[in-house]
Amino acid sequence: MNKEMNKEMNKEMNKGMNKEMNKEDKTGILVGGAPLLKTEEVLLKMIEEVRRSIKEETAETGANDGANSDSAIIIAADRGIDFFVRNKIKPDIWQGDMDSTDAELRRKVEEMMPELETRTCSPIKDFTDTKICTDILLEKGCRDLHIFGGVGGERADHTLANIQLLFELAKKDVYACLYSDTGNMFVLNGPATYEFPKKEKGDISVFALTDIARGVKIKGLFYEYEGDLKNDFALGVSNSFCGKEGSISLEEGAVLIVEKE
């Protein structure tokens, strides 16, 4: 990914996280099978930006290794392939146990993307398809992950599993955002700081994931706070941006941040 594209994605997609990506790090875009709704527009724009960056890279270097391998990896998790079929976009990888993909959809994939790298696994397994997909992205050098289609649908348990997955990734120093119409989510694993500009709008909540999140400081929001947060008391719910620069930081533990414009 070129320098300007990397900078812009860090600014707009990483929402001000104080974490610099190394030039070797790649962006991973993962699409699951839950309803995308309005986040589909965000996803299409993100893929368009990635592809534009690849074209610029190719023009500068003259190299063309195919797909998105030099800058980003796009992966479909099981029924998440439906998004790509509908929009006539080929991902890099299709991974899943295929328990939610019907024969008609598989036929369309075979016709439209005959050379698509497809990885299947048994539905009797210890890990979700989303977890397996994030492991693949990490193996391929992705440290900046954007997960769509991982919230809602018919399985509340999968939403909770994906929140736990965000925590696992944060402990590995991997930025991961879970996008949905009801709020975008990411985890801060202390010590860490999330900074935001004046232009941010909407609601924001902060929940302790560990028993205690110590040394939490919330500045520049409607409700400011300094102290500890506990995971059995939702003190940080329903805050809001108010046109100020600010930050959320913690010294120890982990918090889940949920933003909704």
Tokens 């050098």 belong to residue: 141
For residue 194, what are the β-bridge partners?
A: 17, 248
Domain boundaries, the chain: 3-182, 192-260
Q: What is the pTM of this model?
A: 0.87
Is the separation of the CB atoms in 94 and 119 below 8 Å? yes
Taking Cα atoms as reference points, which of 75, 66, 186 lies closest to residue 137?
75
- Quickly list DSSP for 64-106: --STTTTTEEEEEEGGGHHHHHHHT---SEEEE--TT--HHHH
CATH no. of 3-182: 3.40.50.10240
Classified by CATH at the fold level, domain 192-260 comes out as Jelly Rolls (2.60.120)
Q: What is the pLDDT of residues 104-142, one digit of tens each?
A: 999 999 999 999 999 998 888 889 999 999 999 999 999
pLDDT digits (tens, 9 = 90+) for 135-148: 999 999 999 999 99
Q: Do domains 3-182 and 192-260 have the same CATH topology?
A: no
